[in-house]
Amino acid sequence: MYNEILNDIFQRYPMYHKVGSSAYKEGLENIEALLSIIGNPERKLKAIHIAGTNGKGSVANMMASYCQERGLKTGLFTSPHLVDFRERIRINGQMITEEEVVDFFQHYQDQINTLEPSFFEITTALAFHYFVQQKVDIAIIEVGLGGRLDATNVLHPLLSIITNISLEHTQLLGDTIAKIAFEKAGIIKEDTPVVVGEFHPESFPVFKDIADQKKAPLFLAEEHYEIEGPLSDCTIRDTDGNLLYEHIHCPLAGEYQRLNLRTFLTAVRVLEELMPYDKDVTQAAIEHVVANTGLMGRWQVLRQAPLTICDVGHNVGGLGLTMKQLSALPCRNLRIVMGMVSDKDIAHVIPLLPTEAIFYLCQANIERALPAETLADMFQKAGLQCRIHHTVIEAFKAVNADAAPDDIVFVGGSCFVVGELLANSQQPKANS
């Protein structure tokens, strides 16, 4: 029954991550009507609301880990999923059960069909309903797309977090940093503190203006914390130079996590009035984030020889830092399995890619996937060495057949590429 219902959801309701902008429904009327039918669970949730271009998923998982370490029953709503739909909705790291999904749709199917909501609106309603039914103490809610008109923006949270802003989804959110910032700033609520992860001269004035209008205290993360050394053994100081932590092991090893960690730490201190600051709990939250939440696809090491890493970063901001970190690693050959979706700004991504790498190009099994042949044409014009494969798994088998133990293999470019790889439990073995 679960598989039948899930297939029906995927086929009947438009899903942005699969089909693109045709699935985007602007406005909150639909989600408000849907939530009204199921008893307005959003009014019963204590929540932390997180938006941003990059890092919102990682920060959401860090915040969930923190709340779990505080002993709170913690709901976590994120998107997209990589392997299993139920990854989107978790309590204390455990996915929603298949039975709960079935019960929700059997109970509300007729009303849902009448409203014709989007996939994300349905999923948001399911998450809020489940969290209330399970009596969570707090819910960590990641925005789907944008902020102001996102289905999650019916919340009145304890804290809002905006990680950063760069150009993304410009056809929906606007073609400038300031316009996109305005959409993200829609999650700022009256008299509710907001943490901004990174300063940008075009976005920060927008956040400041809206926060002032709403009398929302605003905190800029880079004004509070500095993180030194490798994330596997880092030192954290405040911006006055006072030592706060030594030998912190953050299992999220991507260099971009340095920014997310700073945002998380600032958010924890802002919450101090609600949850008194505990240094040991904060450290445990960082070090146990993967174990607590089940987070996948963030600089995730799949194998040591050859060192094989996957990461879901897919835009200029995310891929730029990832490629820089990859290029700094010593290896004989850098081999990259990559696929992208057709509506991404690929022209601006290509200059960030390491010219010494060998690319194994593929396409994920979704409508939005850019054909590997089209991507290869763009890469070859830029002087990149590439090979064409029809599927993610075919490309991964090929790279493992070619790779020596002292090579590095990276898989990314799209969350769907990473998701298909992780869903394939039998990973091919590299030649020795």
pTM: 0.93
Distances (CA, A) of 221 to 84, 109, 203, 258, 259: 33, 43, 14, 11, 9
Of the residues 293, 323, 343, the one at which a domain ends: 293
**Residue finishing a domain among 293, 328, 344:** 293
Bridge partners of 159, per DSSP, are 48
Same-domain pairing of 288 and 386: no
**Cα separation values, 179 from 60, 167, 168, 311, 314, Å:** 24, 10, 11, 28, 21
Do 146 and 57 fall within a single domain? Answer: yes
What is the torsional sign of CA 269, 273, 274, 279?
Answer: positive
273 and 247 inside one domain: yes
**Do 278 and 400 have their domain in common?**
no
Range of the domain at 386: 300-423
Residue 355 has pLDDT above 70, yes or no: yes
Q: With contact defined as beta carbons under 8 Å apart, do 126 and 98 qualify?
A: no
Determine the pLDDT at residue 171: 59
- What are 111's two structure tokens? 């009303």
| Average pLDDT of every residue of the chain | 92
Residue 313 falls inside a structural domain: yes
**Is the per-residue pLDDT at 426 higher than 60?**
no
* Residues 96 and 126 occupy one common structural domain: yes
Note the pLDDT tens digit of each residue in 237-286.
Answer: 999 999 999 999 999 999 999 999 999 999 999 999 889 999 999 999 99
Residue 431 forms part of a structural domain = no
Do residue 193 and residue 315 come from a single domain? no
Asked whether residue 66 falls in the same domain as residue 34, the answer is yes
CB contact at 8 A, 363 and 384: no
What is the enclosing helix (H) or strand (E) of 114?
helix 98-115
Q: Do 256 and 372 fall within a single domain? A: no
pLDDT at 389: 97
Give tens-digit pLDDT for 94-128.
999 999 999 999 999 888 888 988 899 999 999 99
Report how far apart the first and last C-alpha atoms of the chain are (Å, whole number). Answer: 44
Total domain count, the chain: 2
Let me know if residue 430 belongs to a domain. no
The predicted structure's pLDDT at residue 329? 95
Determine what percent of the chain is predicted with pLDDT higher than 90. Answer: 80
Same domain flag for 337 and 261: no
| Contacts (Cβ under 8 Å, ≥6 apart) of 216 | 160, 188, 189, 190, 191, 192, 193, 194, 210
In a domain, 327, yes or no: yes
CATH code (residue 402)? 3.90.190.20
Return the structure tokens found at 227. Answer: 């993180």
Question: In the chain, pLDDT over 70 holds for what percent of residues?
Answer: 94
pLDDT value at 432 more than 50? no
Q: Are strands 408-412 and 307-310 parallel, antiparallel or unpaired?
A: parallel
Does residue 86 register a pLDDT over 70? Answer: yes
Give the confidence band of 25 by pLDDT, cuts at 50, 70, 90: low
Of 148, 155, 114, give the one whose Cα is nearest residue 131: 155
In this predicted structure, what is the pLDDT of residue 26?
65
Check pLDDT > 60 for residue 430. no
Strand stretches in 11-52, DSSP E? 47-51
What is the spatial distance between Cα 398 and Cα 97, in angstroms, rounded to a whole number?
36
Are 224 and 313 contained in the same domain?
no
63 and 79 together in one domain: yes
> Is the residue at 428 inside a domain?
no
What the block records as the tokens of 137 is 């103490």
Which residues, 6+ apart, have CB-to-CB distance to 174 below 8 Å? 180, 182, 183
Are 203 and 313 within one domain? no
Q: Is the pLDDT of residue 154 over 50?
A: yes
State the DSSP string of 248-309: E--S---TTHHHHHHHHHHHHHHGGGTS---HHHHHHHHHTHHHHH---SSSEEEEETTEEE
- Pick the last residue of a domain from 271, 293, 315: 293
Q: And the tokens for 87? A: 């990854």
Model confidence pLDDT, tens digit, residues 162-219: 999 876 655 567 678 999 999 999 999 999 999 999 999 999 999 999 999 999 999 9
State the average pLDDT over residues 40-63: 97
pLDDT at position 27, please? 76
Q: Could you tell me if residue 27 is left (phi over 0), alpha (psi between -120 and 50 degrees) or otherwise beta?
A: left
Q: Could you tell me which residues come within 8 angstroms of residue 310 by beta carbon, excluding any fewer than 6 positions away?
A: 297, 300, 302, 410, 411, 412, 418, 421, 422
Cβ-based neighbour number of residue 309 at 10 Å: 22
In a domain, 432, yes or no: no
